């Protein structure tokens, strides 16, 4: 698993796990969910309702609504303003906020196909 946190001279304490789309990622006390997501390079928080476009963390201060996710069953939760807590359950928000794994997997398949066909290999244009 990718860990983009600064490692030298930082004492974060004991990590705990949070559940993000059925994957367990590590977070530390005092971190927002957004910080934990960025640390593992997960950049898509939600998919727009009409255009099925990905949105992610942009402003980091509760203004842009790009980071709205379903947290513990509650849709439209801004993860840049929400502290990670042990065993919290975070889901990518599809449209209006009802998490649907079948829709999520369908979008991921389309995104993967889009990356292969239309973008250079190192581009993450589909994941913004
Ligand atoms: S990143 Fe803009 S509201 Fe959270």
How far apart are the CA of 34 and the centre of ligand 1, in A?
9
Contact at 8 Å (CB) between 17 and 36? Answer: no
pLDDT per position in the chain (128 positions), as tens? 788 898 899 899 999 999 999 999 999 999 999 999 999 999 999 999 888 899 999 999 999 999 999 999 999 999 999 999 999 999 999 988 765 555 566 566 655 654 544 444 444 444 44
In the three-class reduction of DSSP (H, G, I as helix; E, B as strand; rest coil), residue 37 is classed as helix
Q: Is 66 in the pocket of ligand 1 (CB under 6 A)?
A: yes
- Mutation to probe ligand 1, out of 33, 45, 46, 66 (largest number of atoms < 8 A from CB): 66
In 1-128, which ranges are E strands?
Answer: 16-20, 23-27, 46-47, 54-55, 68-71, 74-78, 89-91, 93-94
Q: Is 67 in the pocket of ligand 1 (CB under 6 A)?
A: yes
All structural domains of the chain, each given as residue ranges with its CATH number in brackets, are 16-116 (3.10.20.440)
Among candidates 44, 70, 69, 48, which has minimal Cα distance to 56? 44
pLDDT at 119: 44
């Amino acid at each position: 698993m990718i860990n983009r946190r600064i490692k030298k001279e930082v004492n974060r304490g004991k990590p705990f796990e949070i559940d993000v789309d059925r994957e367990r990622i590590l977070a530390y006390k005092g971190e927002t969910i957004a910080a934990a997501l960025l640390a593992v390079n997960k950049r898509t928080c939600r998919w727009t309702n009409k255009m099925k476009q990905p949105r992610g963390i942009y402003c980091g201060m509760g203004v842009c609504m790009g980071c709205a996710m379903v947290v513990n069953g509650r849709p439209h939760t801004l993860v840049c303003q929400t502290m990670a807590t042990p065993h919290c359950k975070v889901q990518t928000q599809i449209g209006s906020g009802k998490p649907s794994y079948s829709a999520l997997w369908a979008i991921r398949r389309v995104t993967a196909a889009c990356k292969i066909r239309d973008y250079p290999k190192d581009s993450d244009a589909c994941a913004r």
